Structure 1
Amino acid sequence: MSDTFHSRFSAEEMAEIRRSLRDEARFGSEFLGRLKRVAKRVPFAEDLLAAWICTRDPATPRRVRLTLLAALGYFVLPLDAIPDILPFIGFTDDAAVIAAAIAAVAGSITPEHREKAKRTLAEL
C-alpha cells in the first residue's frame, strides 16, 4: 500500500465516521433505519443486510468486520460522492463500495447470513 494515500473525507467527516462506528448501537439503528427507507429502491439491499448480519456474528474475524463496517458506514453517511437523491445513479457509489467490500471478504458472508437477510427483508 502506498504511503501517499489521501482521504477524500475532511477531518470533520473522518471524526464523524469514527464516532459513528464506535457507537455500535447508534450505528446499527442508523444503518437499519436507512436500509428500511431505501430497501425497495436499491437492488443490493440483501447484500447490505447480509454484510450487517455478518458483522454481528461473533465468529466473524475482526478484519472482516472492520472491512464491512467501513463499507456500511459509507452507506449510512449522508455525505456521498454521488448524492443518493439523484434518480438511477444515486446509489451507484454505495453499490460499488459494498461490492468491493463483499468481494474482499466473500468467504466470510455465509449462506446463513444471506438467508437471514432474505427473511428479514421479506418482513420489511
Structure 2
Amino acid sequence: MRKEKQHEIELENFNPDQAIKENKKQFSEKKYMAKLLKYAKKIGIQVSYYSLLLFYAFKSPETPKTAKLTIAGALGYLILPIDLIPDALPAVGFADDAAVIFRALYSVTSSIDDTMKYQAHTRMKKLFGKNYDMDEIDNKFKV
C-alpha cells in the first residue's frame, strides 16, 4: 500500500516537459522526427499517422500526465536504435514498433482531439504527398 501512495505522489509531481529536457539524449522531438522521416514509407501510413497523433497529444498541455507517460514510452520505443525485432528485418522489422504505437494510441484515445488529428493529417500530407490515403486510418482518428 505504501508503494502505491508513493507512486501516486510521484505521478502527481511528475513534469513530462522537464523529464524530456533531462533525458534529451534518449528522447527528443528532433530524434523522433528524424526517425519518422527516415522510416515513414517502411512503417506505412497507418503507423506514421498514429505516431504523429501520439506526438501531438504529448505536446498538448491538455493531455493528462498518465497519458503522456504512455506516449513517451511508445515514442521512445519507436526511436530506440535497439528493438525487440530489429527494424532491418524485411516485412517484420517494424511489427513491434507498430504494436507499441497501436497499444499506446488505444490507451490514450480520450486524449486525442481534432486539433491533434489536423496536425497529424497536415504533417502526413507533407511526408507522403499524393500517396497519402486516409483509407487506412480508423474512422475515430480521422480529421
TM-score (ref. length: structure 1):
0.78
Does the 8 A contact of 2:53 with 2:120 survive in 1? yes
User: How big is the shift at 1:21?
Assistant: 6.9
Does the 8 A contact of 2:54 with 2:71 survive in 1? yes
**Equivalent in the alignment of 1:9:** none
Distance 2:101 2:32 in 1: 13
Out of 53, 56, 59, the position equivalent to 2:59 is: 56
Structure 1 residues 95-104 or 108-117, which shifts more? 108-117
What is the one-letter code of the residue matched to 1:119?
T
**Equivalent in the alignment of 1:116:** 119
Q: How does 1:100-111 map to 2 (within 5 A)?
A: 100-111=103-114
Distance 1:21 1:73 in 2: 14
**Equivalent in the alignment of 2:29:** 28
Does the 8 A contact of 1:39 with 1:45 survive in 2? yes
Identity of aligned residues (%): 33
Deviations 1:3-50 (A, max 9, x none): xxxxxxxxxxxxxxx8887228x6110001000111112121000011
**Equivalent in the alignment of 2:39:** 38
Larger Rg, first or second structure (1 or 2) = 2
**Equivalent in the alignment of 1:3:** none
User: How big is the shift at 1:103?
Assistant: 1.2
> 4+ residue runs of structure 1 moved beyond 6 angstroms?
18-21
Structure 1: state its 5+ residue gaps.
1-17
What is the one-letter code of the residue matched to 2:37?
K
**Equivalent in the alignment of 2:3:** none
Distance 1:21 1:64 in 2: 19
Structure 2: state its 5+ residue gaps.
1-18, 128-143
TM-score (ref. length: structure 2):
0.68
Does the 8 A contact of 1:21 with 1:27 survive in 2? no
Q: Please give the root-mean-square deviation of Cα atoms over the aligned residues, in Å.
A: 2.0
Distance 2:125 2:20 in 1: 31
Out of 65, 70, 85, the position equivalent to 1:67 is: 70
Out of 97, 101, 104, the position equivalent to 2:100 is: 97
